[in-house]
């Protein structure tokens, strides 16, 4: 083993190989998706070698020149008393080094907040490095990697912890070596050994850490949006507070604020923003983020956020203290579906010139919409975009698992994709020189029937913008959206916010929700107020593998082997995510070799080097096993010629999770399913698949009325042939009974999209789901709920 240390004294790398003391193991420990660690003893007695120093650069290679470790001494060497010699007391030096990512771990990553949606794992690992110090390690060699669903960096965690979580979720292994980062998909490198090549010791079952076979899996996830609520109220000209029947879904602690930058630092916050400014047109000044032109080309002078925005629920984008000078052109507050080009701008303020005036015009799907707003020189403005989608979770989670089949080991993906949904948009502008209670100017109030699941956030796209932005805020406020219909039939959006923002009302969520209208904005007599929001519940799913159940029941034995737990990472945000996670678990938990872990010891692996994330194919007693390497410890034995011992710890997914991390403690508020969803056989060499078991939700259902003692409903979808829409008075029991129900909660079944629901009281509540002609019928996953607080006529 060759050891060099550069002590940062200008002398370069010094060879310390002869000083390695093997009275204790001198070893390198590699751990899957975590920093590698070198530790051991040096004896400098009788030599002229300088004492190594903290931050010293360490490189270790074998006699063949294969680099085994590169990193840095993280502490000063510790003197360890070895005994007495003729010259006096002799000390050895205990040294400890951490691999190259220590350069990134030393920096604060507490600012790495905000979800990454729908990205590739390799790109995300490189991005995590660039957000701290883009020059610390070379990232150009990182491969694209596998697709991820949603990843949220852990606040306050080190870079390596977050990068390790990305690699785990993508069933991959990251590595920092020779000053460069790499990411490789697990199974890229495979090694074949038998029990005759080394010491193979497969661990027996240990109830504390190893699970038994499972073929009926129940898992819980996060709290998810559930029923699609529509509540109707009637104004009387004086009532300003309206209590809701349900509790609107709202973001949890720390989830509401996505970006809040007052632009008050000395430098642009590189953990939030990516600056592309080839002409040096951007700067931070006393006015905030200041721009002084551009090169006239779309998308080449930009201030863009690192994280894409998931276009779900209710989102508020706000540009504060905006000042624009004459001649300005570009886009402010843009959300882009693809590269930063005006044609890809899903929503933003297009700044342009017309007749010597500077105009801010709403931009929707690359086209100007609504009313242009005249921006006056010397004035400060607030520009806001309100977005609302009935779907809060637009990006579906992705899970990976290693399938050990007769054709070899392969990684399979479960889940992924995006949910289609409409988006409502309101653009508004406010002159900050006006009174705080002056209503804002609404420039556009409309909706698009389909939208991208995510968008890139670009605060400034300057063709030739001149001016400044005092602050940029992006927040997720929940799912609530308020609309009004006047007695003449005119409809408009009621803006939600604070009383000083010039908007109409506030919406709160507690044990029950509440809408409070501000002074001067109280609904007029006869005005119908419609409040839309999502309820919430704990995500849970139960999935079983019938083939395994039948095999285990052979000979009259009990075939069911249940397992219950919680999905920790990647987070299962919805019931559908839980179903995909359970399917991934069943792909490895039904294997007879479930929860196998062990270790393999080999000496002097000629022509190869083993890293965590590699696959071991181990042959023993006539059978073979594929498992992922989790840890590798390389130690020098102090012999000549060189003797390096590799201790390799391996495990399969059920013994030690990689693509999916699990806990055996379930969430206590979960309503556990009484029956399991049975998988069906998949293609050869693939895991069983999820059958179609739900229909579309009625996310675009609209309700008008009452009129003539009925609510008029447009379900928003054409029902399947032989199917229709079932209306009940409680959110349950769908499919039970026929045209009449013994429970008395069935209201009607309609075979057509438009239908009327009779009402007879001031307070009414209905739940609607679509069904098909299957036997038994399939239904929507969640109900569309209607709650009325209106006179029956």
Residues 664-695 pLDDT 10s: 999 889 999 999 999 998 776 677 888 999 99
Region 160-174: what's the mean pLDDT? 94
The confidence score (pLDDT) of residue 225 equals 93
* Residue in 336, 285, 282 with CA at minimum distance from that of residue 465: 282
What pTM value is reported for the model? 0.91
Residues 2-42 pLDDT 10s: 999 999 898 999 999 999 988 888 999 999 999 999 999 99
Residues 484-524 pLDDT 10s: 999 888 999 999 988 888 899 999 887 678 999 999 999 99
* Contact predicate 382/319, CB 8 Å: yes
State the number of CA atoms in the 13 A half-sphere of 169 facing the CB: 32
- Provide the Cα torsion 463, 469, 475, 481; round to 10°: -80
Region 386-404: what's the mean pLDDT? 93
* Contact predicate 300/276, CB 8 Å: yes
DSSP β-bridge partners for residue 79? 93
Q: Give the least confident one: 101-110, 419-428, 448-457.
A: 101-110
State the number of CA atoms in the 13 A half-sphere of 506 facing the CB: 9
The confidence score (pLDDT) of residue 195 equals 67
Q: Could you tell me whether strands 784-789 and 216-234 are parallel, antiparallel, or unpaired per DSSP bridges?
A: parallel
> Per the structure block, which two tokens stand in for 154?
């852990």
User: Higher-confidence residue: 444 or 9?
Assistant: 444
Q: Could you tell me whether strands 88-99 and 67-73 are parallel, antiparallel, or unpaired per DSSP bridges?
A: antiparallel
Instruction: Give the model's confidence band at 209: pLDDT under 50 very low, under 70 low, under 90 confident, else very high.
Output: very low
Q: Cα 152 vs. chain centroid, distance in angstroms?
A: 5
Has residue 737 got a pLDDT over 80?
no
- 426: DSSP letter: E
Has residue 196 got a pLDDT over 80?
no
Has residue 78 got a pLDDT over 70?
yes
Instruction: Give the model's confidence band at 591: pLDDT under 50 very low, under 70 low, under 90 confident, else very high.
Output: confident
- 656: DSSP letter: S
Dist. CA 216–CA 583, nearest whole Å: 10
- 5: DSSP letter: E
Instruction: Give the model's confidence band at 777: pLDDT under 50 very low, under 70 low, under 90 confident, else very high.
Output: very high
Has residue 113 got a pLDDT over 70?
no
* Contact predicate 53/8, CB 8 Å: yes
The confidence score (pLDDT) of residue 212 equals 82
The confidence score (pLDDT) of residue 637 equals 76
The confidence score (pLDDT) of residue 80 equals 84
User: Higher-confidence residue: 192 or 333?
Assistant: 333
Region 146-169: what's the mean pLDDT? 90
> Per the structure block, which two tokens stand in for 164?
């390790």
Region 773-793: what's the mean pLDDT? 89
The confidence score (pLDDT) of residue 206 equals 34
Has residue 592 got a pLDDT over 90?
no
Query: Rounded to a whole number, what is the distance in angstroms from the first to the last CA of the chain?
Result: 89
Instruction: Give the model's confidence band at 778: pLDDT under 50 very low, under 70 low, under 90 confident, else very high.
Output: very high
The confidence score (pLDDT) of residue 406 equals 59
The confidence score (pLDDT) of residue 337 equals 96
Has residue 549 got a pLDDT over 70?
yes
Dist. CA 585–CA 572, nearest whole Å: 13
The confidence score (pLDDT) of residue 130 equals 86
Q: Cα 560 vs. chain centroid, distance in angstroms?
A: 34
Region 735-739: what's the mean pLDDT? 63
DSSP string, 551-563: HHTGGG-----EE
The confidence score (pLDDT) of residue 205 equals 32
Dist. CA 519–CA 502, nearest whole Å: 11
Q: Which helix (H) or strand (E) holds 304?
A: strand 302-305
User: Higher-confidence residue: 768 or 616?
Assistant: 768
The confidence score (pLDDT) of residue 608 equals 79
Sign of CA dihedral 73, 79, 81, 82: positive
Region 716-744: what's the mean pLDDT? 82
Residues 276-285 pLDDT 10s: 999 999 999 9
> Per the structure block, which two tokens stand in for 667?
């969430």
The confidence score (pLDDT) of residue 163 equals 93
The confidence score (pLDDT) of residue 407 equals 61
User: Higher-confidence residue: 122 or 206?
Assistant: 122
CB atoms within 10 A of CB 419: 17
* Contact predicate 793/710, CB 8 Å: no
């Amino acid at each position: 083993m060759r050891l060099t240390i550069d002590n940062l004294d200008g002398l370069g790398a010094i060879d310390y190989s002869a000083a390695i003391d093997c009275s204790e193991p001198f070893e390198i420990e590699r751990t899957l998706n975590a920093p590698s660690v070198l530790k051991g003893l040096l004896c400098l007695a009788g030599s002229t070698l300088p004492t190594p120093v903290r931050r010293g650069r360490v490189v270790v290679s074998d006699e063949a020149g294969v680099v085994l470790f590169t990193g840095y001494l993280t502490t000063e060497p510790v003197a360890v008393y070895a005994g007495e010699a003729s010259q006096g007391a002799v000390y050895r030096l205990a040294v400890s080094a951490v691999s190259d990512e220590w350069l990134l771990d030393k920096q604060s990553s507490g600012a790495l907040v905000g979800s990454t949606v729908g990205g590739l794992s390799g790109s995300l690992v490189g991005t995590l490095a660039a957000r701290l110090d883009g020059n610390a390690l070379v990232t150009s060699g990182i491969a694209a990697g596998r697709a991820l669903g949603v990843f949220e960096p852990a606040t306050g965690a080190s870079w390596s912890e977050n990068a390790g979580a990305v690699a785990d979720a993508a069933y991959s292994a990251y590595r920092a070596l020779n000053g460069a980062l790499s990411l490789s998909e697990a199974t890229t490198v495979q090694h074949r050994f038998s029990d005759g090549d080394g010491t193979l010791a497969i661990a027996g079952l240990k109830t504390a850490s190893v699970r038994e076979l499972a073929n009926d899996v129940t898992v819980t996830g996060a709290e998810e949006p559930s029923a699609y609520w529509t509540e109707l109220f009637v104004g009387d000209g004086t009532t300003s507070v309206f209590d809701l029947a349900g509790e609107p879904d709202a973001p949890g602690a720390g989830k509401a604020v996505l970006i809040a930058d007052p632009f008050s630092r000395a430098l642009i916050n590189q953990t939030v923003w990516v600056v592309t400014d080839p002409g040096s047109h951007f700067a931070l000044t006393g006015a905030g983020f200041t721009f002084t032109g551009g090169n006239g080309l779309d998308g080449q002078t930009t201030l863009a956020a690192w994280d894409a925005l998931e276009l779900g629920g209710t989102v508020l984008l706000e540009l504060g203290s905006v000042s624009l000078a004459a001649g300005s052109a570009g886009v402010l507050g843009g959300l882009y579906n693809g590269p930063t080009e005006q044609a890809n701008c899903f929503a933003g303020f297009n700044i342009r010139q017309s007749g010597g005036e500077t105009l801010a015009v709403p931009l929707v799907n690359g086209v100007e919409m609504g009313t242009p707003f005249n921006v006056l020189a010397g004035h400060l403005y607030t520009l806001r975009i309100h977005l609302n989608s009935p779907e809060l979770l637009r990006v579906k989670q992705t899970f990976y698992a290693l399938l050990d089949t007769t054709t070899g080991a392969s990684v399979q993906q479960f889940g992924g994709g995006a949910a289609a949904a409409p988006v409502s948009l309101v653009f508004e502008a406010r002159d900050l020189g006006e009174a705080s209670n002056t209503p804002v100017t609404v420039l556009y109030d409309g909706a698009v029937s389909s939208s991208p699941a995510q968008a890139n956030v670009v605060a400034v796209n300057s063709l030739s913008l001149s001016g400044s932005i005092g602050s940029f805020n992006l927040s997720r406020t929940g799912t609530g959206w308020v609309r009004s219909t006047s007695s003449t039939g005119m409809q408009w959006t009621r803006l939600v916010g604070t009383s000083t923002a010039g908007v109409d009302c506030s919406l709160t969520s507690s044990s029950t929700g509440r809408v409070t209208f501000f002074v001067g904005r109280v609904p007029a007599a006869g005005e119908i107020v419609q409040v839309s929001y999502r309820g919430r519940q704990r995500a849970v799913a139960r999935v079983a593998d019938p083939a395994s159940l039948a095999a285990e029941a052979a000979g009259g034995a009990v075939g069911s082997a249940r397992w219950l737990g919680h999905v920790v990472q990647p987070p299962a945000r919805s019931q559908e995510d839980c179903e995909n996670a359970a399917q991934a678990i069943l792909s490895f938990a039904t294997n007879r070799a479930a929860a196998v872990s062990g270790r393999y010891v080999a000496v002097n692996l000629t022509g190869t080097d083993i890293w965590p994330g590699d696959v071991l194919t181990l042959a023993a007693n006539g059978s073979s096993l594929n498992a992922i390497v989790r840890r590798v410890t390389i130690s020098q034995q102090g012999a000549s010629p060189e003797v390096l011992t590799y201790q390799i710890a391996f495990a399969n997914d059920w013994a030690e999770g990689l693509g999916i991390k699990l806990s055996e403690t379930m969430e206590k508020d979960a309503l556990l399913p009484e029956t399991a969803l049975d998988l069906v056989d998949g293609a050869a060499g693939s895991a069983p698949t999820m059958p179609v078991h739900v229909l579309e939700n009625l996310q675009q259902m609209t309700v008008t009325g009452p009129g003539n003692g009925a609510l008029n409903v447009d379900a928003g979808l054409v029902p399947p042939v032989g199917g229709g829409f079932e209306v009940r008075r409680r959110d349950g029991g769908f499919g039970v009974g026929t045209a009449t129900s013994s429970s008395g909660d069935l209201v009607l079944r309609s075979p057509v999209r438009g239908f009327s629901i009779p009402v007879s009281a001031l307070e009414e509540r209905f739940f609607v789901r679509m069904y098909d002609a299957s036997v038994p019928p399939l239904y929507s996953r969640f109900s569309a709920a209607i709650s009325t607080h209106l006179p029956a006529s």
